[in-house]
Every structure is written in C-alpha cells, then in structure tokens.
Chain A
Amino acid sequence: MFVQLSHTSFAMVGIFQRSLRLRTSLRQLSFHKSTSPTDILSSLVLRGRLFPICSPFVFFSFRRTLHNSNDGPKSLSDTPPPRRPFCRVTQEDLTFFRTLLPGRAITDPDLLESSNVDWLKSVKGSSEVLLRPQTTEEVSQILRYCNSRNLAVNPQGGNTGLVGGSVPVHDEIVLSTALMNNILRFDDVSGILTCQSGCILENLSLYLEERGHIMPLDLGAKGSCQIGGNVATNAGGLRLLLYGSLHGTVLGLEVVLANGQVLDCLSTLRKDNTGYDLKQLFIGSEGTLGVITAVSILCPQKPKSVNVVFLGCETFEQLLKTFQLSRSMLGEILSAFEFLDSECLNLLRTHLKLHNPISDCPFYIVIETQGSDSNHDEEKLHNFLEEAMQSSLVVDGTVATEEAKIKALWSMRERITEALTHDGFTYKYDISLPVERIYQLVTDMRQHLGERAKSVVGYGHVGDGNLHLNITSPAKNPALLAAIEPFVYEWTAKFQGSISAEHGLGLKKRNYIYYSKSSQAVALMGTIKAILDPNGILNPYKTLPDNLR
C-alpha cells in the first residue's frame, strides 16, 4: 500500500529544487557563457522537460550559474550541490551488478523513475542504476565494490522522507532495501523483534498485533516506510510521547559500512554496557555512515484499551494547562497529545469536507490514552475530562472508544497535510521549541507575513515540543519565501530550538545545521564521517553542510 496523502506530522522546508532539474538539463545542452538566460529557457522549453520556471527567482540562480557572480543574498539550500568527482557507472560495473543480483539490477528508466523522485515530488535525481539486494552479504559486496570503484551510493527505504534525503541528487546508484523484508525473530516474552531493514512498518505492526504487541513508533507513512529508513532518520511519529525515540527502543543494529565490512551490533539485550554504544551513531545518520541491514527493537504490549479525545480550547495558555493536567491525571496512560489551530480545521472543512466534531474553538487537542484495563482508563479519562471542563480549561470536546470513531477523530489531525496540498503551494517547517513558545512562532509569523501569505497554520506534537508550521500561497512565491527564511530559522535559533525536529536534514536542510548545532559539533560530525566513509560514497550531498567549517 503506497503511502497516501492522508497524512501526518511531516513538514518540509519549502525550498524548491526546480533549479536542480534545470542544472541537469543544462548539462545536457552544451552552452557557452555568452548565451543569454532567455536562449537557454527557450531551448529547454522546446525539449519539453520544463515545468513553469518563469519566476524571477530562477532567473536569479541562472545568473549565478552562468556568471558565477556573488550578487544577492546567499540562498543556502536552493542551489543543488555540484557533482563530486565520483566515477560513472560503466558496462563492466553493470555486468558485476547483474551477476551479483540476477534480475535485481535495474536500469530501465521507467522503473527508475519512482526511485529518482521523492514523495513530495519536489526533488529529482538522475540515477541510472537501481540495485535490490536480498541479503546482508549482497549489500556488503555491493558496497565493497562501489567503494573500490569510487561509485556513489544512495541507500533507499520506503522513499517517504520529506527533506530530499532518500533520492539521488545526481547519478548515485540507488541501493534499495525493499527486498530485505524478512522478520527474523520475535520473542514474545521480552517483546524483542529482530527483522531485516526493508520491512514495511505497517507489516511489522500487523505481525506484532497478532502476537499481542505493537511497534513503538507510528507514523502516517506506515504503509510505505521501512524500519531501516525509520532508524536511519530517527523517525519520531505519534507515539513518541509514550514510548520514547528510536534511540531508546532500538536494541541493536546490523550495519554494512562503506568499505563493505559488516558491523554486527545486532544485540537483543536490554542492557549491555560493554564499550561505546556504536548503534547510536547510525540511528539518525540518514544513510551517510553506513547501510542498516537489520534491526532489533523493543516492542511494547498491545494496549487493551485505547481512547481518543478531541477537545477545544479558547487560548494556547489554556491548551498548555490542559497538557499539564493531562500529564498529572492521565500520566502513564497518555500516549499522544497533539494540537491543531482553527485555521487547520478550516482547511479540513474547506478542502476535505471534514466536519468539526465539536463547536468551533481557536485551538483543538487530540489526546490518546493507551492502557491495559479499559475500566481504569475510562475512569481516569472521565475524571480528567470533568476537571478540565469544570476549570474551564476546555470549552467543548468528545470521546471515542471504538475503532471507527477513533480513526475519524485522528483523521482531524492526520489529514491536515493532505488538506494543505489542496490549499496551494506549501512551505513546511518542522521545528522543535520549548513547549510554551510553540504557538508564538505561528502568531509572529502571521504578523510578519501579513497579506503576503494565504494561510499560516500551526499544528503538531505539542506534547513533544514539536511544531509543524505551514504557510501556503496560491503559487510558488519567492518573495514570500524570502520573507519566511531566514526569519523562521533565526526565530528558532533565538530560543535554542531545532530547525528540524524529526524530519532530518537530508538534502534540503543540510546547510541550516548551524542554526541548531555549533561549529565544533558539526566539525566533529565531519571527522566521524571521514573515518567511516573516507571516499564519501554513502549518500553524498546530504545531512552535512556543503561548507564544513
């Protein structure tokens, strides 16, 4: 099941990678420095590979390409990085791959299309080879070969990432884990699951549910995303509040390093303090330090009782107080605390015809509880709701205890991303801030942008301090983008927030890393990368900034 638009907490930096495509096209036309931008444009249009690029912003980058001038403000991530001097794939290479992976070394451009484009259809690479290994040994042989031949490799899982980290930038070989989808072991006493990295998250969930357990993470992309990719990006999702991040729930990893060496840290022990905890390096490394081939993960018990509550609040302060109240009265059964503002609800109403289950309020909360005893949970929930209503923290709400109603209430939060795509071109920001500041960014942004934006909405995992700020405009608007950035990043840095709470840096946000990490920290990351991948073949152009200071 391909991930559908009914979706969740993702946000993406709205930096447009059209110029990337342009550059690739440009390369195919040999042009002289004296050719004017208009000539290039017309030849590109004739080749039919264009989509509208008449915005002055693109002309701007044109000028920079042609004349290498330094006029105008530096746009940190809009320029795709130039191709590094990797080798290109030769017939010999193809023969090797085809022998190693019979029938699973793909060069057909139609089949390669989906691996070259990201889920948001915002970035496109030009890989000519897609490899689909089935075993760790095959991955090891592929990487050993590519390392010796200086061929760049782009590891790819479900390709549902939102920062352009899962698709090639140039002609990197795509290494897909899609066929590595076996579950190796499940111990239902300890709840520890061991599986290959290509297992789709939803399939793992279904497998576990039959055995009385669940995965410790849940995200809207579950129908397509793979556990290897989740681990490589340290995916957060809707259950983080209760079960914590992958840094805590992953017990072991099997990783193939850039030189083909297989690093077996696939432990299934809860506690193991014997030396440096290497797996933590790879969790969140976005495929730049090694290719994850197997994962062992601690899975919680399937809750016997799940309840979802949809509440309305007058002010954000009251929303925060409701959060405090829920933590104290629901405590151990609180598994999700999400919020959305009234603008989000208007979008859901306008574009998806979803009706408000309660009366209209400035802010809405979705609370989920999970527990082992429905009677206890319902009692806790009722006490909490009574208290919340009596102290007027909450002005209206509704409760769902059955699957169908639970899904309906969750869709009010999960389908906002989908509604936004209908509203126009969306600029997406995934920010971590101190909880009390979360909505201030939205109001400040609204004030700052004024009439320039169509909608400015805020929603997200308020329980985790994670805001999804989305700004729409009828069409891509460089003037609007210039007003949003770097304002949003500077605002975030001012409060020591993170410019990418859960989506990672990938291609699109790599150069913003300094807003949230010190130069020393980034330099050390560079050192580690150089040690583990001296030739830099693993997922180049991603995660670490272009100019490692």
Chain B
Amino acid sequence: MSKKKSFLAIELQIRVKPDHSGVVTDGVKHSMNPFCEIAVEEAVKLKEKKLMKEVVVVSCGPQQSQETIRTALAMGADRGIHVEVSGKDYETLGPLQVSKILAALAKKEDAQLIILGKQAIDDDCNQTGQMTAALLDWPQGTFASEVSLEKDGIKVVREIDGGLETIKISTPAVLTADLRLNTPRYATLPNIMKAKKKKIANVKPADLGVDLTSRLEVLRVDEPPQRQAGMKVETVDDLVSKLKDAGKV
C-alpha cells in the first residue's frame, strides 16, 4: 500500500492569507508530493519484480485528491482509495490524523507494506510514517535510499546525517522514501488511458472510526522577511563611503 499526499505545487507563488491564519489555497494547483512519487515508483517496481501482489494508493483530502490518485494509477498502481476530508477538517489535517487513517486502512486491507514519502514539502513534518508505524506497532525503515526484500525481512539502507545505515526489519513494516530511492517514471499514454478504468474507492474517516480533531492550533503564518534590494555603486570610493555610512567599516 502506498500513500501519497497532495500538496501545493512548488513553483507557485505562495501567498499568506490576509488574516495570517494560513496560506491561500483556493484555485491553486495541487500536485503529488515528490517523495510520495518516489514511494509510488518503489511500490510499482516491487510489484513488477513480483515481490508484491497489489499496489493500492491512498490519498486523504478533498475532491482534487482524486487527480493525484489517478496519476499514481497511471504510474502502475492497481487501485486507489480516496479518504474524503474537506473543509475545516482538511485545514487541520496533520500527520497524527493521517497516520490514524492509514493504520485503520492497513488493518482493513491486510497490508503487508506501507510506503510513504519521507515528508511532505508543504509542511516538512516528517512524522506520518513514524506515527503510522507506532500506531500499528510495526517496524519502520525511514529515509530509505535502497530497499530489498529478502526471505527473512526487508533490508533497508537509510540516509542518515553521518552517512548510510543498513538495517533489517521484519514484515509487515512501514517504509518512508528518500530522494535517492529511485527516479519516478513518466506515466505513459497507454497507462494513462488504462488508469481511467481503474477503481478508486471512496471512504470517510468516520467509517474507519478515526477522530480527526487536531491537537495543534496554528497561531500565525508569516512570510519570510522581504529580501532587501542590493545597491550598485560606480566606483570603489563610492563603495567604501557607503560601507562607512552604514557603519559596517
């Protein structure tokens, strides 16, 4: 099972809401989190190697999440589950809530392996994978840059500050994908066409018995301070006098 998150596309200009309560998301394009793409690619690869039977992609969010699920289906996933969360609930949806949803789904679907992106690039939390593993009491291989399924477990090479760490964990397990795990494939036209026919099931958090109340309160969102424009001077003397004026020299 592979979980992906929709987030605001990176190249867009992000605007803070006038009341500083958050970021403007209306009418803004959502895309698949790049680390989630890597996770989907890994899952599809495992299926192609016949090590996994079925790849199910899950996304939690409003109607638009379906698009992201379709992209994953076009990459080779077999079916999708859209957990519908919208409005206020979606704004406060955080790693804890998502991991509860995933844990519930994993039990329901009898999943053997959950692969997530290591973190979402909109909130940079890096918590969902770890929390999901804790809720299920499953081992976790996070920041994976290499994954190999062996007879007695999964060997995971992890990217850590000091270098690389290799661990072996038993299944069922949770993995989170890091940048160097693979290069996600392009969804080719024939697969995009096929994906249209694949099933996406619709589920509500309540059906899974998950309580979405957040324990976090966002106090304020601010833009980073505006970068001051530089100044050009014509001569070195000018430069020195300006530096002196500013008290830097």
* Chain A interface residues (CB < 8 Å from chain B): 103, 310-311, 357-359, 374, 385-386, 389, 394, 396-405
* Chain B interface residues (CB < 8 Å from chain A): 9-12, 29, 31, 34, 186-190, 192-193, 234
Q: Are B188 and A404 in contact (CB under 8 A)?
A: no
B residues less than 8 Å from A386 (CB atoms) = 193
B residues less than 8 Å from A405 (CB atoms) = 186
A542–B174 alpha-carbon span in the complex (Å) = 68
A residues less than 8 Å from B192 (CB atoms) = 385, 398-399
Q: Are B9 and A398 in contact (CB under 8 A)?
A: no
Known contacts A403-B9, A403-B10; A398 and B31 CB within 8 A of each other: no
* Nearest Cβ on chain A to B196's Cβ, whole angstroms: 8
Q: Which of A103, A358, A374, A400 contacts B188 (CB 8 A)?
A: A358
Q: Are B189 and A397 in contact (CB under 8 A)?
A: yes
Q: Are B186 and A358 in contact (CB under 8 A)?
A: yes
* Nearest Cβ on chain A to B216's Cβ, whole angstroms: 28
A residues less than 8 Å from B193 (CB atoms) = 385-386, 389
The 3 A-B pairs of least Cβ separation, nearest first, read A403-B11, A397-B189, A398-B186
Q: Which of A103, A374, A397, A402 contacts B9 (CB 8 A)?
A: A402
Q: Which of A103, A374, A389, A401 contacts B190 (CB 8 A)?
A: A389
Q: List 21 A-B contacts (CB under 8 A).
A: A103-B234, A311-B189, A357-B186, A358-B186, A374-B29, A385-B193, A386-B193, A389-B189, A389-B190, A394-B189, A396-B189, A398-B186, A398-B187, A398-B188, A399-B189, A400-B186, A401-B29, A403-B9, A403-B11, A403-B12, A404-B34
B residues less than 8 Å from A311 (CB atoms) = 189
B residues less than 8 Å from A402 (CB atoms) = 9, 11, 29, 31
A397–B190 alpha-carbon span in the complex (Å) = 8
The SS class assigned to the A binding surface is mixed
B residues less than 8 Å from A394 (CB atoms) = 189
* Nearest Cβ on chain B to A511's Cβ, whole angstroms: 42
A366–B116 alpha-carbon span in the complex (Å) = 32
Q: Are B188 and A396 in contact (CB under 8 A)?
A: yes
A404–B183 alpha-carbon span in the complex (Å) = 14
Q: Which of B9, B12, B29, B187 contacts A399 (CB 8 A)?
A: B187
The interface centre, meaning the residue of B11, B12, B186 with most chain A CB atoms within 10 A of its CB, is: B186
B residues less than 8 Å from A374 (CB atoms) = 29
A residues less than 8 Å from B234 (CB atoms) = 103
A426–B147 alpha-carbon span in the complex (Å) = 45
Chain B residue nearest to A304 in the complex (CB): B27
A401–B64 alpha-carbon span in the complex (Å) = 14
A residues less than 8 Å from B29 (CB atoms) = 374, 401-402
* Nearest Cβ on chain A to B115's Cβ, whole angstroms: 21
A402–B193 alpha-carbon span in the complex (Å) = 19
* Nearest Cβ on chain A to B236's Cβ, whole angstroms: 13
Q: Are B10 and A404 in contact (CB under 8 A)?
A: yes
Chain A residue nearest to B34 in the complex (CB): A404
* Nearest Cβ on chain A to B237's Cβ, whole angstroms: 12
A326–B78 alpha-carbon span in the complex (Å) = 31
* Nearest Cβ on chain B to A240's Cβ, whole angstroms: 24
* Nearest Cβ on chain B to A356's Cβ, whole angstroms: 9
A537–B190 alpha-carbon span in the complex (Å) = 60
A residues less than 8 Å from B31 (CB atoms) = 401-402
A400–B32 alpha-carbon span in the complex (Å) = 12
* Nearest Cβ on chain A to B178's Cβ, whole angstroms: 18
Chain A residue nearest to B189 in the complex (CB): A397
A103–B232 alpha-carbon span in the complex (Å) = 13
B residues less than 8 Å from A404 (CB atoms) = 9-11, 34
A107–B193 alpha-carbon span in the complex (Å) = 63
A389–B188 alpha-carbon span in the complex (Å) = 11
A residues less than 8 Å from B186 (CB atoms) = 310, 357-358, 398, 400, 405
Chain B residue nearest to A385 in the complex (CB): B189
Chain B residue nearest to A390 in the complex (CB): B193
Chain B residue nearest to A359 in the complex (CB): B188
A397–B31 alpha-carbon span in the complex (Å) = 20
* Nearest Cβ on chain B to A227's Cβ, whole angstroms: 22
A400–B187 alpha-carbon span in the complex (Å) = 9
A404–B31 alpha-carbon span in the complex (Å) = 10
B residues less than 8 Å from A389 (CB atoms) = 189-190, 193
B residues less than 8 Å from A357 (CB atoms) = 186, 188
A403–B28 alpha-carbon span in the complex (Å) = 13
A404–B10 alpha-carbon span in the complex (Å) = 8
A374–B28 alpha-carbon span in the complex (Å) = 11
A397–B188 alpha-carbon span in the complex (Å) = 5
* Nearest Cβ on chain B to A512's Cβ, whole angstroms: 41
A405–B193 alpha-carbon span in the complex (Å) = 19
A358–B185 alpha-carbon span in the complex (Å) = 9
A398–B192 alpha-carbon span in the complex (Å) = 8
A404–B186 alpha-carbon span in the complex (Å) = 12
* Nearest Cβ on chain B to A485's Cβ, whole angstroms: 40
A311–B186 alpha-carbon span in the complex (Å) = 12
* Nearest Cβ on chain B to A374's Cβ, whole angstroms: 8
* Nearest Cβ on chain B to A322's Cβ, whole angstroms: 12
* Nearest Cβ on chain A to B139's Cβ, whole angstroms: 33
The interface centre, meaning the residue of A359, A389, A394, A402 with most chain B CB atoms within 10 A of its CB, is: A402
A401–B10 alpha-carbon span in the complex (Å) = 13
* Nearest Cβ on chain A to B36's Cβ, whole angstroms: 13
Q: Are B11 and A398 in contact (CB under 8 A)?
A: no
A397–B12 alpha-carbon span in the complex (Å) = 26
* Nearest Cβ on chain B to A200's Cβ, whole angstroms: 16
B residues less than 8 Å from A401 (CB atoms) = 29, 31
Chain B residue nearest to A408 in the complex (CB): B186
A residues less than 8 Å from B34 (CB atoms) = 404
A residues less than 8 Å from B190 (CB atoms) = 389, 396
A residues less than 8 Å from B187 (CB atoms) = 398-399
* Nearest Cβ on chain B to A120's Cβ, whole angstroms: 29
* Nearest Cβ on chain B to A525's Cβ, whole angstroms: 41
- Starting from the known contacts A402-B9, A405-B186, 18 additional A-B residue pairs (CB-CB under 8 Å) come to A311-B189, A357-B186, A357-B188, A385-B193, A389-B190, A394-B189, A396-B189, A396-B190, A398-B187, A398-B188, A398-B192, A399-B187, A400-B186, A402-B31, A403-B11, A403-B12, A404-B9, A404-B34
